[in-house]
Amino acid sequence: MIEPDESFGAMLTHAWHILPFALLFALPAVVLGGLVLYRLRHGSLAATLTVLVLIPLVATLTGVLGVSGFMFNSTLTTMVLVCLLVAVVVVPCAIVFGRAIARRSVWEREARERERAAEASRRELVAWISHDLRSPLAGIRAMAEALADGVVSEPAEVAGYAQRIGGESTRLSGMVDDLFELSRITAGALRLTMSAVQLRDVVSDTIAAQTPVAHRKRVRVEAHAQASPVVSGSDPELARIVRNLVSNAIRHTPPDGTVAVQIGVAGSEALIAVDDGCGGIPEDEIGRVFDVAFRGTRARTPERDGAGGGLGLAIAKGLVEAHRGRILVRNHGPGCRFEVHLPLA
C-alpha cells in the first residue's frame, strides 16, 4: 500500500512530467487568443473581455485534451463539462461588464472633452472680454482726464464728450449684463416665469427698439408674420432671444442691406426666422457660431466697431433651450438664417 506522502509525491512527479506536454498543447490557443486580441485592439471592450475570459478556458481545455490523448473517460468528460459550464456563466458576465465599462469609459472621455472645451471657451471669453472692457475704459478715462484738466472747455465739446462717455458706459453695462445672464444660464440658475406669450408682439416690440440702430447703419429691417403663434414662455427672455438675433443680424449686415424677420408655424412648433446679409458663414465655422466668445472671421464681420463680446448668440441658445426649444443656423441667400423653434402653447 502506498503511503499518503508517497502518493502525493508520485502525483507531483507525474504532473511535472506532463506539464511540458500540457503547455505545448495549450500554447496554440494562447497564441491564437493573442492574435484575436490584437485584431480587437480598436474594437469593442465587451468583445475584448469575452476573448480574455475564453483564452484561459480554451487553453486549459486543449491542454487537458492533448495530454489525455483525446481518450474520453469519466474524468475527462467531467472536465470538459465543467469548462463549458464555466464558459456559459462567465462569457455573458464578461459581455455585460464590458459594455458597462465601455459606457463608463465613453462617458468619462466625453466629460473630459466637454471640460476641455469649456476651459478653452472660458480662456477665450476672458481674452475677448478683457480686450473689450479695456477699450471703452481707456476711452472713458482719457475723456474724463481731458474734462478734468480743462483741455475741453467749449460747451459743445463738453456735451460731446459727455455723450460719448455715456455711450461707452452703456456699452460696458450691456457687456456686464450679458456676462451675468450667461453665468445664470451655464450655472443652471435661470428661473423662468412662464405664461402665454404672443410671439408677434414680442417681435414687433423688439424690432421697434432696434430700428434706430439699423438706421444708423443704413440697414433695413423687415418683418413678416405668416401666423400669430402663442407659446408658453417668459416674455423678457423671449424678447432677449429676438433682440440678440436681430442685433447680431444688423451688426453683420453691410450698409444698404436687409434684415428679414419671419414668424410662422412649423408643425407643432412656432418658428422665428432671422435672415441677414452677412455673406454667409464658412462651413468650418458654422458649427461654432453659438460658442461663447466666438465672433467669426473678418469676412463675416465687415464692421467691427461696436461689435459685441461674442455672447449674444450663446445667450440666445441657452434661453431657447430653457424654453425647451431649439435654435439652428444655416447659410441662406445672401447671408445666413437663424431659426428658433419653440413648442406651441
196: β partners: 232
pLDDT reading at 160 higher than 90: no
pTM for the full predicted model:
0.59
Determine contact, residues 230/199, Cβ cutoff 8 Å.
yes
Class of residue 99 by CB neighbours under 10 A (exposed 0-12, middle 13-18, buried 19+): middle
Cell numbers at residue 200, please?
Answer: 408677434
pLDDT above 70 as % of the chain: 86
Contacts of residue 269, defined as CB under 8 A and 6 or more positions apart, other chains included, come to 325, 341, 342, 343, 344
Q: Give, as one character, the DSSP assignment of residue 308.
A: -
Residue 1's pLDDT band, with cuts at 50, 70 and 90, is very low
CA angle 285, 288, 289 (to 5 degrees): 90
Domains annotated on the chain, with CATH: 4-108 (no CATH), 120-186 (1.10.287.130), 195-343 (3.30.565.10)
| Per-chain mean pLDDT for the chain | 80
Residue 309's pLDDT band, with cuts at 50, 70 and 90, is low
* pLDDT tens digits along 85-144: 777 777 777 777 777 777 787 788 888 888 887 777 677 667 767 767 777 788 888 888
pLDDT reading at 71 higher than 50: yes
Lowest average pLDDT, out of 264-268, 290-294, 319-323, goes to 290-294
**CA distances, 112 to each of 41, 42, 102, 116, 283 (Å):** 22, 20, 15, 6, 26
pLDDT reading at 303 higher than 60: no
